[in-house]
Chains A and B, each alone.
Chain A
Amino acid sequence: MADKNRLQGRVALVTGAGQGIGRATAIRLAQEGARVAVNGRVSHPKIDQVAQETGGMPVIADIADAAQVERMIKEIDERLGPIEILVANAARMIMRPFLEQDAQEWWAQVHINLTGHMNCIHGILPGIRRLGTGRIILISSFFGIIGWENAAAYSASKSGISALGETLAAELNSQDISVNIIAPGVIDTPQLQVDADDLNISREEVKAIYSKDIPLGRVGHPEEVAGTVAFLAGEGGPMYNGRTLHINGGNCRCSK
Chain B
Amino acid sequence: MGDQEMAPDKRGNTGRVGLVTGAAGAIGSSVVRRLAVDGWEVAGIDLKECEADLSLCVDVTDRAAMVEAVRQVVEKLGPIHLLVTAAGDFERIPFGEIEPDRWRRMLDVWLGGTANACAAVVPKMVQEGSGTVVTVSTDVSQAGPNYVYVAAASGTIVAYSKSFGCEVARSGVRVNCIAPRVLTNPDWVAATVGFLANDGGYYASQIFSPSESVENERGDIGGRQK
- Give chain B's interface residue range (CB within 8 Å of chain A): 35 or more
- Say whether B156 faces chain A, with CB atoms less than 8 Å apart: no
- Say whether B137 faces chain A, with CB atoms less than 8 Å apart: no
B202 touches A175 (CB 8 A): no
How long is the Cα–Cα vector from A55 to B211 in the complex, in angstroms? 35
Given contacts A1-B10, A221-B202, A241-B211, contact A249 B169 (CB under 8 A): yes
How far does the Cβ of B110 sit from chain A's closest Cβ, in whole Å?
A: 19
- Say whether A92 faces chain B, with CB atoms less than 8 Å apart: no
- Say whether A170 faces chain B, with CB atoms less than 8 Å apart: yes
A255 touches B205 (CB 8 A): yes
Interface size on A, residues (CB 8 A): 37
* CB contact between B12 and one of A1, A174, A239, A241 (< 8 Å): that residue: A1
- Say whether A240 faces chain B, with CB atoms less than 8 Å apart: yes
Contacts of B202 in A (CB 8 A): 185, 216, 220-221, 224-225, 247-249
- Say whether A126 faces chain B, with CB atoms less than 8 Å apart: no
- Say whether B203 faces chain A, with CB atoms less than 8 Å apart: yes
Contacts of B162 in A (CB 8 A): 252, 255
**What is the number of contacts between chain A and chain B, taking CB atoms within 8 Å?**
102
Given contacts A216-B174, A236-B195, A255-B206, contact A250 B215 (CB under 8 A): no
How long is the Cα–Cα vector from A216 to B213 in the complex, in angstroms? 32
- Residue from the set A169, A225, A246 with the largest chain B CB neighbour count within 10 Å: A246
How far does the Cβ of A225 sit from chain B's closest Cβ, in whole Å?
A: 8
B195 touches A235 (CB 8 A): yes
Instruction: Known A-B contacts: A224-B202, A236-B195, A239-B191. Give 18 more (CB < 8 A).
Output: A1-B10, A1-B11, A1-B199, A173-B213, A175-B213, A215-B169, A216-B170, A231-B195, A239-B185, A245-B203, A248-B202, A249-B169, A250-B174, A251-B205, A252-B162, A252-B165, A252-B166, A252-B205
Interface residues of A (CB under 8 A from B): 1, 3, 166, 169-170, 173-175, 185, 215-217, 220-221, 224-225, 227-228, 230-231, 235-236, 239-243, 245-252, 255-256
